[in-house]
């Protein structure tokens, strides 16, 4: 091979060697950066709000007894009318008062005629209102009807007062923002403690909103809660 051709081959080989070396260095550097970029931390952020219920469903359940059906139905009607009149006088609108069908029990079927009264009937008058504080005040005045001979019962699960908060959509955005902000603060502290820097969000999931009574004595005060889970990249 002539001298010029040898020189050309040598130069070409030198460039190829340099190129391969550079490519290997670049690939190695990219791999290291990729591994560093793949490091992450998963944190949770909590947001809570204390709110008041804006709807109340108040079942007023009463019971009457008797030995003949006609008298029993008359007693049911009389008690229901007294309750409705009382509620109207307290400011409850007529369209917020509803009546269930009376549930009649013939005790002779179960007690072999040993019961003092053959029949018992149970009916529920339900109040539906957005004036929660007003209805709660009326509850304390129901005693006046008890003095008139109406027998109320609250042992039935269906007779429990229900308080509802319907304004969740109004506070959702702010709560999600708060939960996400708290999660980022936790992640930043973790990154600082581990001599890392916090990168972009890798993935994020928003938990379900939960609404529960603050405590058993104040079921009309609700605790709204949401937890956001966020995974962040970590870099050196």
**Beta bridge mates, 43:** 230
**Structural tokens at position 20:** 């391969």
Q: Which of 139, 130, 140 is nearest to 56 (CA)?
A: 130
In tens digits, the chain (236 residues) has pLDDT values of: 555 554 555 455 554 555 545 444 443 443 334 445 568 889 999 999 999 999 999 999 999 999 999 999 999 999 999 999 999 999 999 999 999 999 999 887 766 656 688 899 999 999 999 999 999 999 989 989 988 889 998 766 667 999 999 999 999 999 999 999 999 999 999 999 988 899 999 999 988 899 999 999 999 999 999 999 999 999 87
CATH number, domain 55-164, options 3.30.70.2970, 3.30.420.10, 1.20.120.790, 3.40.50.300: 3.30.70.2970
Task: For 36-91, write each residue's pLDDT tens digit.
Answer: 556 888 999 999 999 999 999 999 999 999 999 999 999 999 999 999 999 999 99
Give the start-to-end residue ranges of the domains of the chain.
1-38, 40-54+165-236, 55-164
Contacts of 161 (CB under 8 A, 6+ apart): 56, 57, 58, 59, 139, 219
In angstroms, the CA 152 to CA 170 distance is 38
**Structural tokens at position 165:** 């908060």
CATH number, domain 40-54+165-236, options 3.30.300.350, 3.40.50.2300, 3.30.110.170, 3.40.190.10: 3.30.110.170
Q: Do domains 40-54+165-236 and 55-164 have the same CATH topology?
A: no
């Amino acid at each position: 091979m002539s001298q010029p051709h040898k020189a050309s081959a040598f130069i070409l080989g030198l460039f190829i060697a340099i190129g391969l070396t550079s490519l290997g260095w670049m690939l190695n550097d990219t791999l290291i950066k990729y591994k560093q970029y793949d490091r992450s931390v998963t944190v949770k952020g909590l947001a809570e709000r204390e709110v008041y219920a804006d709807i109340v469903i108040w079942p007023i359940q009463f019971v009457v007894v008797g030995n003949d059906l006609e008298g029993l139905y008359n007693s049911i009607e009389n008690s229901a009318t007294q309750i409705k009149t009382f509620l109207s006088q307290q400011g409850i609108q007529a369209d917020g008062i509803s009546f269930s069908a009376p549930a009649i029990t013939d005790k002779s079927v179960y007690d072999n005629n040993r019961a003092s009264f053959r029949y018992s009937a149970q009916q529920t008058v339900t109040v539906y209102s957005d004036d929660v504080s007003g209805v709660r005040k009326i509850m304390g005045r129901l005693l006046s009807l008890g003095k008139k001979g109406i027998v109320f019962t609250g042992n039935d699960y269906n007779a429990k007062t229900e308080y509802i908060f319907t304004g969740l959509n109004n506070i959702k955005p702010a709560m999600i923002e708060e939960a996400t902000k708290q999660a980022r603060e936790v992640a930043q502290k973790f990154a600082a403690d581990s001599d890392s820097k916090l990168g972009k969000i890798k993935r994020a999931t928003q938990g379900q909103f939960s609404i529960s009574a603050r405590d058993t004595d104040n079921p009309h005060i609700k605790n709204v809660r949401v937890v956001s889970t966020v995974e962040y990249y970590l870099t050196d």
